[in-house]
Amino acid sequence: MKGTCLCESVVIEASDVSDFEACHCGMCRRWGGGPFLGVHCKGNIVISGEEFVGRYASSEWAARGFCSQCGTHLFYHLKPTDEYVLPLGLFQDAGEFMFKQQIFIDKKPDYYAFANSTETLTEQQVFAQYGE
């Protein structure tokens, strides 16, 4: 499946993707103005237009990528596992995806809610599962 930034300077191809999750942590909400809807790709991605990819080390274990031309959010990269989480909105044909889980559910503000029935993980559960 292919995804592009707004100006199409960066194209990302991912394979074996079918689920997405919502992250309600404060950093993701600040990054995108709301929950981050992300597709886990486990490193199985190909980036074309790498020269237009900017990176921000948002923590010791992760970096966030963006298009340096148009500002589109491109990925959240978990350094220890080399896993990439791509914004669902990069993919124009997102109809095949299933909303699987919500993480940092205890950090979700009260002013929005999803009607979908999903698995949920608290901040403590996320750190226990993925390590701090």
Nearest Cα neighbor of 25 from 109, 110, 97 is 109
Q: What is the pLDDT of residue 10?
A: 98
User: Quick one: CA dihedral 84, 87, 90, 95, positive or negative?
Assistant: positive
Domain ranges in the chain are 2-130
pTM over 0.75: yes
**CATH fold of 2-130, please?**
2.170.150
Q: What is the pLDDT of residues 24-71, one digit of tens each?
A: 999 999 999 999 999 998 768 999 999 999 999 998 889 999 999 999
